């Protein structure tokens, strides 16, 4: 049996080692919504592919697909398979229909502009006191 060797490009090693991390030590998100929107503005045409995201943002195709599918699941972008590839497009604000008119938030009294609310109290104000 011979010993097999794998050559790993130094650029790849440096890119993995230099990725930003959060305070908890996890990798920081590199494919943000804002960065994806920037790609839509720079690519010719109304639709993009995961390859567009990967090449413009310098991320793997897998990371690009993951973010695009997440944004599609959240209703922020449209998606369709054509010729064996997924294409994605930005949805206009009128296409987004995730507002529930039955949500109790619409029944809450408005908070005067000069009154501040702590983030910890926000759910209690919007939905009533939360009992644990």
User: Which 8-state DSSP code applies to residue 34?
Assistant: H
> Is residue 79 over pLDDT 90?
yes
Give 25-28 contacts, CB < 8 A, sequence gap 24+.
none
* Residue of 91, 89, 71, 70 whose CA lies nearest to 79: 89
What is the rounded distance in angstroms from the CA atom of residue 96 to the CA atom of residue 90? 10
Q: Residue 88: its pLDDT value, please?
A: 93
Q: Residue 123: its pLDDT value, please?
A: 72
Please give the average per-residue pLDDT across 105-123, as a whole number.
Answer: 72
The values of phi and psi at residue 85, to 5°, are -125, 145
Q: Residue 105: its pLDDT value, please?
A: 72
User: Which 8-state DSSP code applies to residue 94?
Assistant: G
Domain 10-94 sits in CATH 3.40.50.1820: no
* Residue of 38, 31, 41, 40 whose CA lies nearest to 87: 40
Q: Which of 20-29, 54-63, 66-75, 102-111 has the lowest mean pLDDT?
A: 20-29
Please give the average per-residue pLDDT across 65-70, as a whole number.
Answer: 90
Please give the average per-residue pLDDT across 13-35, as a whole number.
Answer: 66
């Amino acid at each position: 049996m011979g010993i097999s060797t794998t050559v790993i490009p130094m650029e790849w090693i440096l890119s993995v080692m230099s990725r930003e991390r959060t305070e908890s030590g996890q990798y920081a998100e590199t494919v943000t919504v804002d960065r994806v929107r920037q790609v839509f503005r720079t690519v010719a045409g109304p639709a993009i592919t995961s390859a567009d995201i990967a090449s413009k943002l310098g991320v793997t195709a897998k990371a690009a697909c993951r973010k695009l599918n997440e944004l599609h699941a959240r209703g922020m972008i449209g998606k369709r398979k054509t010729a064996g590839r997924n294409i994605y497009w930005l949805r206009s604000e009128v296409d987004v229909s995730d507002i529930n008119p039955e949500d109790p938030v619409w029944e809450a009294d408005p908070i005067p502009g000069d009154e501040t609310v702590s983030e910890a109290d926000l759910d209690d104000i919007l939905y009533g006191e939360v009992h644990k």
